[in-house]
Amino acid sequence: MAKVKTFQDLILTLQNFWASKGCLILQPYDDQMGAGTFHPATTLRALGPRPWRAAYVQPSRRPKDGRYGENPNRLQHYYQFQVIMKPAPADIQDLYLESVRAIGLDPSLHDIRFVEDDWESPTLGAWGLGWEVWCDGMEISQFTYFQQVGGIDCDPVSAEITYGLERLAMYVQNVEFVYDLAFNEDFRYGEVFHQAEQEFSAFNFEMANTEILFRHFKDAEKQCQELISGNKKLALPAYDQCIKASHIFNLLDARGVISTTERAAYIARVRALAKACCEAWLATPMGDYKPRFG
Amino acid sequence: MADLLLELFSEEIPARMQQQAAKDLERLVVGELSDRGLLFEGAKAFAGPRRLTLALVGLPNKQSDVSEEKKGPRVNAPTKAIDGFLRSAGVTLEQCEKRDDGKGEFYVAVVHRKGRATADVLAEILPDCLGKLPWPKSMRWPQDTNAPVRWVRPLHSILCALDGEVVPFVFAGVTSSNRTRGHRFLSKGEIQVRRFDDYVKKLRDNHVILDGDERKQIILHEAKNKAFALGFELIDDEALLNEVAGLAEWPIVLVGEFENKFMDVPSEILQTAMRVHQKYFSLRDAKTGKLSNRFVIVANMETTDGGKAIVAGNERVLRARLSDAKFFWDQDRKRTLESRVNDLRNIVFHAKLGTQLERVERIEALAGTVAGKIGADTKQAKRAARLCKADLTTGVVGEFPELQGVMGGYYAEHDGEAREVALAIVEHYGPTGRDLTSTSAVSNALALADKWDIISNFFKIGEKPTGSGDPYAIRRAALGMIRIILDRKYRLPLSALPDHTTEILAFFAERLKAALREGGTRHDLIDAVFSLGNEDDLVRLVTRVEALQAFLKTDDGANLLAGYKRAANILRIEEKKDGIAYSGEPDPKLLLLPEEKTLFMDLGAGRELISAELERERFTEAMSAMARLRGPVDAFFDKVTVNAPDVALRTNRLKLLARLRETLHEVADFSKIEG
């Protein structure tokens, strides 16, 4: 049980591990989003009766968390490793702990615990019960049994596991400053992302044209509604627009142009889109597909 | 006699739910058993991160046999009716007796029910009990049955043994057995269990301390010892102790350390970062009380390196947390509180009550008014009010909301605000819990203003506390005001405050009763004084109530109350009969007997004296004046017949009693007094 040495080893190890447990290894979704949960492979596939198992890396954008490359661990762009299994296997906690061993954290030397933390995403109208997983007092994963997505009950219940890859890697590599992480043997994380953090922080906080963003939010909202309100319902393209609207909202929020009251209203608008997309998805063949087994 | 052992083994149960779940489990099982005539000698329930356990001792092996008679139809009733009866009673016609009630013969079925074996009863009721366990938050489980239940987290196994024999049942797809598991990482494997003693011992061998109280004791003992060895003392934190005892089955106490460079950060921030985010206990110097840079970790793991890696990991996490906190602390002080006040317009306080800025403006005006009434420096009170919510926009409070006020105080001090102003910002959320009220008048003026703003405005928009809920903590606000006013003896008539209503005054009377109940003040006396109306001065009200309570404890008081009740009773009956309310001056010429003459004279003098004493708020003296009426009242009832045959005489005597009633009502509405 050697410790994984580099950031990319961590990713490869997790991919191999979950592939061996029957998960599809998907690729990141090609839209900007705040968390791996927004990937349709989680949001939409968590709904309906069809079994599903997938794992993927998802670049996650949190415009407000930009720190111009100066904070030791806050990033406006970081990676999540996401696992979704539906229905949740009875031994999912054990599988998770096996994955922790696989990346070289020995539970017999560390203090690994499941501490109550019920996950909730107001923008997706989603929530679940679960834990933060602590390793020696540090949160290394979020573990959730999905109860609702888009305001719709999840039946069967999925288990979702999210690893914050940078934080986990910092722990495994014993690094205090994220940019010092070894991405592979030759490159540091900072060489790959430091400039991007600087530039995007400036974009998120100073340069993003709010007029354009407000317009784009409305456009995405409109396009989304059109795609699911007509006779021909296109759940997946509509959901893309929902993801876009959500990210644009996050940018506007980072620019500080949304007041507290408006904030709630914007979140409600995105949630309405997500809900409509989820409902539309359930009406599609894949959403409603009845498996031959299980 | 038999002993039951029941254990529900699941994925990690949130610490905050464990205690209640154990109690609920005991209550449900005990209730169902007693309903079925199964009583026992003792019950004990335990809870921990992964298991709920119930142990019952001294259960009977079976229920007692019972015979029961069921009355049936008459023997000549239609066959259909008789058949129906036989079916429902579960007997044949031959098993029925015939009886005669004088009106004819009817059937009686004597049903003998043999007591069932306790094991069978348990197998039947336990699935129901488990299904009824009320979790604050639960999930559907399991996936693969048609009868999913709601449970806090997936349930993995059920151990159920009655005197060592498995009680077989299925709940949520899990079949009961005599097996369980120990600690997640330290257990040697599956455990087979027969009885409770055996269970506790085997769990311990597999690194599980079953009893939460024992886990707490271990943690406390170890933490204190380790602190002492380092020359520090543990800062007690009962809530944290309860929580960490719910997060570990095998608690291991370790000590970590953080860099001295963080010691410049206010200790409240350090402590909160350790406690809230990381669940660490803080230590302090026993002599100076100064926070130590050592902290106590409660792990759930015993490692071969003696916890070295665990301590190093926790220290790293805390370092990152404290770096963040220090960053915010340094950033926050770059701006003055004053410059932040305007930012409050971006924070909505309540949709119907505007922004925090609008709230601050209201509190500012109020603080001025209140300060004037209670003798606080008006300028300072208003200044503190203006700044009191500005820390809501700071980084530290964003990270640690529970430090609101405390941080405002630090920043105000840093900005060079007056000491009283900074203190008021810290103290205006108080008094909380059992804290003493502040001795600073400026703090109290602001605290009163802040709370009155909440109470009066939420009443205004109809968001009053109800039996089921008080989301805006209005009751707590009222209690806070009551405590400050009474502790500091502030003469602050509530009707001097803007937006007061009779409804709010009545609400305060209710809160006052609740607040004073603990101190042994009788709620009926508060009612008696309050219902005179116009009493909006809490200090005066309470002084009066206390004087009254003391008076009623005396012989004179008790007798006078009895006399009053007698008078009031007579008046009630006669007034109803006559359809009028008696009042007005009795005619001295119609007073025949010496006893009524004396009472008349004494009432006249007494009433004047009582009014005068009340006017000067000399309540004890007012009571003494009242006490002097006891003799004449007793003598009156002794010798005088109120319902005299002579109408004029009777009317006059009723007027005299009415006069007595009015006189006593100067002090309190005696009709509200119990006993």
Q: What is the pLDDT of residues A237-253, one digit of tens each?
A: 999 999 999 999 999 99
Instruction: For helices B594-615 and B630-639, give the axis angle rounded to 10 degrees.
Output: 150
Are residue B624 and residue B648 in the same domain, yes or no?
yes
Closest-approach residue (CA) in chain B for A139:
B317
Half-sphere exposure of residue A33: CA atoms within 13 angstroms, side-chain side: 26
Are residue A75 and residue A154 in the same domain, yes or no?
yes
Q: Of B312, B332, B352, which residue is a domain's last?
A: B332
In a domain, residue A2? The reply is no
CB distance B303–A108 less than 8 Å? Answer: yes
Given a cut of 80, whether residue B104 has pLDDT beyond it is yes
Closest-approach residue (CA) in chain A for B50:
A114
pLDDT bin (cut points 50, 70, 90) of residue A294 is very low
Are residue A198 and residue A258 in the same domain, yes or no?
no
Given a cut of 90, whether residue B109 has pLDDT beyond it is no
In a domain, residue B562? The reply is yes
CB distance A145–B139 less than 8 Å? Answer: yes
CB distance A113–B300 less than 8 Å? Answer: yes
Please give the Cα distance from B280 to B227 (Å, whole number).
13
Handedness of CA B589, B593, B594, B599 (dihedral sign): negative
In a domain, residue B375? The reply is yes
Using CB atoms within 10 Å of the CB of residue B139, give its burial: 0 to 12 exposed, 13 to 18 middle, 19+ buried.
buried
- The token duo for B454 is 């909440």
How far apart, in Å, are the Cα atoms of A182 and each of A164, B188, B424? 16, 38, 51
Given a cut of 60, whether residue A292 has pLDDT beyond it is no
Block residue for tokens 């709370």: B451
Q: Which of B9, B138, B139, B296 would you mutate first to test chain A, the one with the most A CBs within 10 A?
A: B139
Q: pLDDT tens digits, residue range A161-171?
A: 999 999 999 99
CB distance B144–A87 less than 8 Å? Answer: yes
Instruction: Name the DSSP letter for residue B277.
Output: I
CB distance A157–B143 less than 8 Å? Answer: yes
Q: What is the mean pLDDT of residues A14-43?
A: 97
Q: Which of A87, A113, A176 sits opposite B247 (nearest CB)?
A: A113
What is the share, in percent, of chain B residues with pLDDT greater than 90? 63
Please give the Cα distance from A97 to A105 (Å, whole number).
9
Closest-approach residue (CA) in chain A for B318:
A137
Q: Count up the domains in chain B and report the number.
A: 5
Are residue B55 and residue B71 in the same domain, yes or no?
no
Are residue A178 and residue A264 in the same domain, yes or no?
no
What per-residue confidence (pLDDT) applies to B145? 63
Are residue B368 and residue B439 in the same domain, yes or no?
yes
Structural domain span for residue A116? 7-203
CB distance B313–A135 less than 8 Å? Answer: yes
In a domain, residue A294? The reply is no
Using CB atoms within 10 Å of the CB of residue A214, give its burial: 0 to 12 exposed, 13 to 18 middle, 19+ buried.
middle
Block residue for tokens 């599903």: A52
What per-residue confidence (pLDDT) applies to B152? 94
Provide the H-helix boundaries in B388-440.
Answer: 395-399, 406-414, 419-427
Q: pLDDT tens digits, residue range B517-569?
A: 877 888 889 888 888 877 788 998 999 899 999 999 999 888 889 889 988 99
Are residue A14 and residue A150 in the same domain, yes or no?
yes
What per-residue confidence (pLDDT) applies to B144? 66
What is the share, in percent, of chain A residues with pLDDT greater than 90? 84
pLDDT bin (cut points 50, 70, 90) of residue B396 is very high
Residue B356: give its domain's CATH number.
Answer: 1.10.3210
Block residue for tokens 């886990």: B215
Given a cut of 60, whether residue B365 has pLDDT beyond it is yes
What per-residue confidence (pLDDT) applies to A293? 46
Q: Å from A87 to nearest chain B CA?
A: 7
How far apart, in Å, are the Cα atoms of A242 and each of A47, A63, A77, A267, B385? 17, 17, 20, 11, 44
Are residue B228 and residue B242 in the same domain, yes or no?
yes
Q: Is A116 on the interface with B (CB under 8 A)?
A: yes
Residue A95: give its domain's CATH number.
Answer: 3.30.930.10
Are residue A217 and residue A251 in the same domain, yes or no?
yes
In a domain, residue B249? The reply is yes
Are residue A97 and residue A125 in the same domain, yes or no?
yes
Question: For residue A107, what are the β-bridge partners?
Answer: none
CB distance B143–A88 less than 8 Å? Answer: yes
Question: For residue A126, what are the β-bridge partners?
Answer: A121
What is the share, in percent, of chain B residues with pLDDT greater than 70? 99
What per-residue confidence (pLDDT) applies to A1? 58
Query: Chain A window 177-196: which residues touch B at a Cβ cutoff of 8 Å?
Result: none
Using CB atoms within 10 Å of the CB of residue B466, give its burial: 0 to 12 exposed, 13 to 18 middle, 19+ buried.
exposed
B140 and B148 Cβ atoms separated by less than 8 Å = yes
Q: Å from B315 to nearest chain A CA?
A: 9
Please give the Cα distance from B671 to B675 (Å, whole number).
10
Are residue B449 and residue B368 in the same domain, yes or no?
yes
pLDDT bin (cut points 50, 70, 90) of residue A289 is low
Whole-number CA gyration radius for chain B? 36
Please give the Cα distance from B611 to B589 (Å, whole number).
26
Q: Å from A96 to nearest chain B CA?
A: 13
CB distance A112–B346 less than 8 Å? Answer: no
Q: pLDDT tens digits, residue range B283-297?
A: 999 899 999 999 999
- The token duo for B316 is 């790293």
Q: Which residues of B touch A107 (CB under 8 A)?
A: 185, 301
Structural domain span for residue B41? 2-62+118-205
B642 and B653 Cβ atoms separated by less than 8 Å = yes
Residue B248 has φ and ψ, to the nearest 5°, of -135, 135
Q: Which of B12, B314, B347 sits opposite A137 (nearest CB)?
A: B314
Given a cut of 70, whether residue B411 has pLDDT beyond it is yes
Q: Of A183, A203, A223, which residue is a domain's last?
A: A203
Given a cut of 80, whether residue A290 has pLDDT beyond it is no
CB distance A110–B309 less than 8 Å? Answer: yes
Q: What is the 3-state secondary structure (H, E, C) of chain A?
A: CCCCCCHHHHHHHHHHHHHHCCCEECCCCCCCCCCHHHCHHHHCCCCCCCCEEEEEEEEEECHHHCCCCCCCCCCCEEEEEEEEEECCCCCHHHHHHHHHHHCCCCCCCCCEEEEECCCEECCCCEEEEEEEEEECCEEEEEEEEEEEECCEECCCCCEEEEEEHHHHHHHHHCCCCHHHCECCCCCEHHHHHHHHHHHHHHHHHHHCCHHHHHHHHHHHHHHHHHHHHCCCCCHHHHHHHHHHHHHHHHHHHHCCCCCHHHHHHHHHHHHHHHHHHHHHHHCCHHHHCCCCCC
Q: Is A268 on the interface with B (CB under 8 A)?
A: no
In a domain, residue B546? The reply is no
Are residue A181 and residue A231 in the same domain, yes or no?
no
- DSSP output for B590-646: G--SHHHHHHHHHHHHHHHHHHHHHHTT-HHHHHHHHHTTHHHHHHHHHH--SS-SS
Range from B67-76, B197-206, B407-416, B457-466 carrying the lowest mean pLDDT: B67-76
Q: pLDDT tens digits, residue range A124-158?
A: 999 999 999 999 999 999 999 999 999 999 989 99
Are residue B219 and residue B313 in the same domain, yes or no?
yes
In a domain, residue A175? The reply is yes
What per-residue confidence (pLDDT) applies to B439? 87
Question: For residue B99, what are the β-bridge partners?
Answer: B106
Are residue B318 and residue B381 in the same domain, yes or no?
no
Are residue A144 and residue A65 in the same domain, yes or no?
yes
Closest-approach residue (CA) in chain B for A71:
B324
In a domain, residue A100? The reply is yes
Are residue A176 and residue A253 in the same domain, yes or no?
no
pLDDT bin (cut points 50, 70, 90) of residue B387 is very high
CB atoms within 10 A of CB B645: 7
CB atoms within 10 A of CB B136: 10
Q: Å from A61 to nearest chain B CA?
A: 21
A192 and A186 Cβ atoms separated by less than 8 Å = no
In a domain, residue B311? The reply is yes
In a domain, residue B547? The reply is no
Given a cut of 80, whether residue B65 has pLDDT beyond it is yes
Q: What is the mean pLDDT of residues A80-88?
A: 97
B650 and B643 Cβ atoms separated by less than 8 Å = yes
The answer to whether the complex's ipTM is over 0.90 is yes
Q: Which residues of A touch B15 (CB under 8 A)?
A: 116
Q: Of A151, A184, A203, which residue is a domain's last?
A: A203
Are residue A232 and residue A104 in the same domain, yes or no?
no
Question: For residue A85, what are the β-bridge partners?
Answer: A53, A159
**What rounded mean pLDDT belongs to chain B?**
92
In a domain, residue B536? The reply is no
Q: Which of A64, A111, A133 would you mutate first to test chain B, the one with the most B CBs within 10 A?
A: A111
In a domain, residue A112? The reply is yes
Residue A252: give its domain's CATH number.
Answer: 1.20.58.180
Are residue A54 and residue A174 in the same domain, yes or no?
yes
Residue B639: give its domain's CATH number.
Answer: 1.10.730.10
Q: Å from A220 to nearest chain B CA?
A: 27
Q: Count up the domains in chain A and report the number.
A: 2
A117 and B125 Cβ atoms separated by less than 8 Å = no
In a domain, residue A293? The reply is no
Block residue for tokens 């043994």: B161
Handedness of CA B244, B248, B249, B250 (dihedral sign): negative
Please give the Cα distance from B298 to A139 (Å, whole number).
16
Are residue A245 and residue A129 in the same domain, yes or no?
no
Q: Å from A112 to nearest chain B CA?
A: 8
Q: Å from A155 to nearest chain B CA?
A: 8
In a domain, residue B541? The reply is no
Q: Which residues of A touch B295 (CB under 8 A)?
A: none
- The token duo for A264 is 């709630």
Cis peptide upstream of residue A87 (ω within 30 degrees of 0): yes
Are residue B255 and residue B157 in the same domain, yes or no?
no
Please give the Cα distance from A6 to A19 (Å, whole number).
20
A180 and A189 Cβ atoms separated by less than 8 Å = yes
Query: Chain A window 145-164: which residues touch B at a Cβ cutoff of 8 Å?
Result: 145, 147, 155-157
Query: Do the strands B96-100 and B105-113 form a parallel or antiparallel pair, or are they unpaired?
Result: antiparallel
**What rounded mean pLDDT belongs to chain A?**
93
Q: Å from A168 to nearest chain B CA?
A: 12
Q: Which of B135, B145, B153, B308 would you mutate first to test chain A, the one with the most A CBs within 10 A?
A: B153
Are residue B349 and residue B256 in the same domain, yes or no?
no
Using CB atoms within 10 Å of the CB of residue A206, give its burial: 0 to 12 exposed, 13 to 18 middle, 19+ buried.
exposed
Are residue B74 and residue B155 in the same domain, yes or no?
no
In a domain, residue A241? The reply is yes
Q: Of B85, B113, B141, which residue is a domain's last?
A: B113
Q: Of B500, B531, B562, which residue is a domain's last?
A: B531
- Under 8 Å CB pairs connecting chains A and B tally to 99
CB distance B139–A129 less than 8 Å? Answer: yes
Please give the Cα distance from A131 to B255 (Å, whole number).
25
Please give the Cα distance from B153 to B138 (Å, whole number).
7
Are residue B314 and residue B365 in the same domain, yes or no?
no
pLDDT bin (cut points 50, 70, 90) of residue B143 is low
Element of type H or E holding B662 = helix B647-665
Q: Is A108 on the interface with B (CB under 8 A)?
A: yes
CB neighbour burial string for B13-40, b if at least 16 within 10 angstroms, e if fewer: bbbebbbebbebbbebbbebbeebebeb
Are residue B285 and residue B395 in the same domain, yes or no?
no
Q: Of A184, A203, A222, which residue is a domain's last?
A: A203
Checking B432-438 for CB contacts under 8 A at 24+ apart, the result is: B436/B487, B437/B483, B437/B484, B437/B487, B437/B488, B438/B484
